[in-house]
Structure 1
Amino acid sequence: MDALKARTNATLSHAAVMTPAGPVHAPLPIRDGCIDAAVASWAYRVDLRDHLIFPGLINAHEHLQVNAIPPLRGHAPFANSYAWIDAFQAHFEDPAVIAALQWPKALRLRHGALKNVLAGTTCVAHHDPWHPALDADDFPVTLLRDYGWSYAPGWPGYGPPLQPSFAATPAGRPWLIHLAEGTDEVAGNELAQLDQLGCLAAHSVLIHGVGLREADIERVLASGAAVIWCPASNLALLGRTLDPRRLAAAGRLALGSDSRLSGARDLLDELVGVLDRYGLSPQQLLELVTLRAAEILRLPAHGHLAPGAPADLVIVEDQGGDPVRSLIGIRRSQLRAVVRDGLPRIADPDFAEWFAIAGVEAVPVLLDGKPKLLARDLAEPALMALEPGLEPASPSREQLPVFASGWH
């Protein structure tokens, strides 16, 4: 993708750019794949009147390689995640699971990234062993790197051992662990265990936290740690999720979709599921997948659209009223465009000229029945075959109108 960045110099005009203080009507310049401070007279101009531009979303917890594996049905709720793991062992004998695991892991990792891009997510925290495929120059999303992790206190046989991995993680980098993923005493005791081991600190990032009591949450906040909330997965497996209000108010909560093995289809669907529930405003929900996620994961260049940040964007139509609801509460097919490093990755067909100017070959597809243009490197047949709702479409004159923009 780096070779194309120099061809992405553009100015997005007449749109409202979402900032922490609210929408600002000002041009958004892009230079060499990043947000620029000044508008260049020679840049390609994209007229986005009646649109809103948001930062690319951050998925703070994901298992990229398992999104094509059929979920376990009919056994929930479990008392904790370890009981679910035990029950899942027999599920490996299911022919559909066997077939899904026949796909190469590198392809399944890429599919997990494609799932995220289609829903406006451009940055992902992958919580599993690293794989060489994640280092590919054209990997579809930006990944959290240089972090520490252990899997869970009660499952020591998978991933790095708990105390050594914590000790090896610098205080300036996040250390991730599944914790208190359950409703029983086992889950409820895990925070105290973690603290006794000396692994509860300001860079500890606790995934799920369903079993945290009020006093536990205060203990988390006192340590400076944070929690990643995955409500769809929690409700599917455990029948309950945590109360997010105290952590969100303190800025120590982010949102993750986990994976389709247990959670929502994507991060947008996760947001739809919690909108107008749990006492969080649309603005707070937006922050969970932008600014707060960036702070918790130590990703200072992400989650905002300030000069110098990567030009990772989600573009939507302005629906009127609360501008945040134009993004929070919609489905992936309703996004107008998703941009990474200044390059359009998927967009409605009237953005065809932007693809062409940026040097990105676009392929016509249908996403949940709606015509879209998808970057060629995301349209590999094997990759598309793994993604329900995404299929090739034949180009037509109606699908490829000229977008009202151009060189100025």
Structure 2
Amino acid sequence: MGAIPSGMNATLCHAATITPEGISRAPLPIRAGRIDTTVTPRGYRMDLRDHLIFPGLINAHEHLQVNAVPPLKATTPFSNSYAWIDAFQAHFEDPAVIAALQVPKTLRLRHGAMKNLLAGTTCVAHHDPWHPALDTEDFPVALLRDYGWSYAPGWPGYGPPMVASFAATPHDCPWMIHLAEGTDAIARAELAQLDQAGCLASNSVLIHGVGLREQDIERVLAVGAAVVWCPSSNFVLLGQTLDPRRLCVAGRLALGSDSRLSGARDLLEELNGVVDRYELGTWQLLELVTSRAAHILRMPLRGFISPGAVADMVIVEDQGGVEARSLVGLHRSQLRAVVRDGVPRIADPDFAEWFAAAGIETVPVMLDGRPKLLAKSLAEPACIALEPGLELVAGQAGRHKCAAASGVD
């Protein structure tokens, strides 16, 4: 499968560009996969009046390869994630789990990335060992690359050793670890354990943090560390989650979906699940999956729409009114287009001309009952078969061919 081109020039006109910093109605020029400063006379123009353009979403915590693995059914919450891991060992004998794990890891990783892309997530922090499949040119999403990680203080047999990994991570790169993922004394003790080991610093990114107490959160903020909040996964495994408000106000909180093994279907569903809780407004929630996530993960060219930034975007219809100008409350089939590196990857059929102008061959698909066009390089049948709600339209796989478009550089 060939890579998707990102070098075309385009200008998006008449849409409202929405970022945590405000709303702009200026034309949005794209050049070579980045947001440009000036509109050029040549290039593809698209009129998006009555539309909203958001930055592509950033999923700050995911395990891409397990999204098609059947979850463990539990009748009562676990005291911590280690207890869940122990219980999962017997679950490995379930025929459905065996079958899911027999799918090649390369394909499972692509499926996890596709799941994210369909819901407007264009960049993911993958918290597992690196795999060559993640380096392919046509991988569906961008990935956090310059980082260090360890798995968890209480599970040293998987992933890099905690102290050595932290020491090897440059201070200007994030270092991630599952921490305080529980409600018991074991989870509550982990921040002090991390601190005593010298692994709590401004680049420490703590995943989950359910067991963090008020004084622990103040310690996290004092050193400039941050937490990635995965509420759906926390409720499924532990029966409760972190109170996010103090960290959110301080700008030290991002949002992650974990994976479907324990968490929400996607990042949009994660947002929808917390919108009416915790006194967080829709603008604050948007920050958690755009600008705040980018800042915490040290990705200065993502999470906002501004000259020089990567042209990753989510386009939706403008439903009118300030309160409606949000991605919160939408589902993935309602997204008009998901744009990565300045070109659409999945979009409604009336975006066909933009695909053609970019030289991208498309395949018609149905997403949760709605027709879409998907870039052909992403339309691997085996990957699509893993995703509930996504299906190829029979007999039309070659219908939308790339075509020459006038006025395109």
With the shorter chain as reference, the TM-score category is over 0.9
Q: Distance in 1 between matches of 2:108 and 2:278?
A: 33
Counterpart in the other structure of 1:318: 318
C-alpha contact 2:318 2:325 (8 A) present in aligned 1 = no
**Structure 1 segment 204-215 matched on structure 2, within 5 A:** 204-215=204-215
Which residue pairs with 2:384 in the alignment?
384
- The AA in structure 1 aligned to 2:103 is W
TM-score of the pair, normalised by structure 1: 0.96
Amino acid at match of 1:158: Y
Q: How far off its partner does 1:3 sit?
A: 7.0
1:348, CA displacement in angstroms?
Answer: 0.5
Distance in 1 (alpha carbons) for counterparts of 2:374 and 2:134: 21
One-letter code of the match for 1:219? R
- Contact kept, 8 Å, 1:282 with 1:324, in 2: the verdict is no
Deviations 1:90-139 (A, max 9, x none): 00000000000111001100110000000000000000000011111111
Distance 2:61 2:18 in 1: 24
- In 2, Cα distance between equivalents of 1:76 and 1:61: 25
Cα distance in 1 for residues equivalent to 2:381 and 2:342: 25
CA contact (8 A) 2:4 2:138 kept: no
Give 2:237's aligned residue: 237
Residue number in structure 1 paired with 2:219: 219
User: 1:230–1:258: 8 Å Cα contact kept in structure 2?
Assistant: yes
Gaps of 5+ in 2: none
Amino acid at match of 1:256: G
- What is the identity, as a one-letter code, of the residue corresponding to 2:130? W
Deviation at 1:325, TM superposition (A): 4.4
**So what's the TM-score if we normalise by structure 2?**
0.95
* Residues 1:289 and 2:289 are matched in the alignment: yes
State the AA in 1 paired with 2:26. A
Contact 2:3–2:377 (8 Å) recurs in 1: no
2:6 aligns with 5
Q: Could you tell me how far apart the structure 1 residues matched to 2:51 and 2:371 are?
A: 19
Number of residue pairs aligned between Structure 1 and Structure 2: 401
Structure 2 Cα separation of the partners of residues 155 and 3 of structure 1: 39
In structure 1, what is the equivalent of residue 172 of structure 2? 172
Structure 1 counterpart SS, 2:107? helix
Report the Cα offset of residue 5 of structure 1.
2.1
Match of residue 250 from structure 2: 250
Query: Which residue of structure 1 lines up, in the alignment, with residue 86 of structure 2?
Result: 86
The aligned runs of 1:234-383 (5 Å cut-off) are: 234-322=234-322, 325-383=325-383
Corresponding residue SS for 2:114:
helix
1:357 and 1:238, CA in 2 relative to 1: closer, same or farther beyond 3 A? same
Quote the residue 1:45 is aligned against.
Answer: 45
Distance 1:319 1:181 in 2: 38
CA distance in 2, matches of 1:262, 1:3: 32
1:217 is displaced (CA, Å) by 0.4
What letter corresponds to residue 362 of structure 1 in structure 2?
A: T
CA distance in 2, matches of 1:279, 1:325: 18
Root mean square deviation of aligned Cα: 1.6
Query: CA separation in 1, counterparts of 2:112 and 2:285?
Result: 22
Alpha-carbon displacement from aligned partner over 1:46-69 (angstroms, at most 9, x marks no partner): 000000101100000000000010
Counterpart CA distance in 1 for 2:288 and 2:240 is 20
Residues 53-132 of structure 1 correspond to what in structure 2 (within 5 A)?
Answer: 53-132=53-132
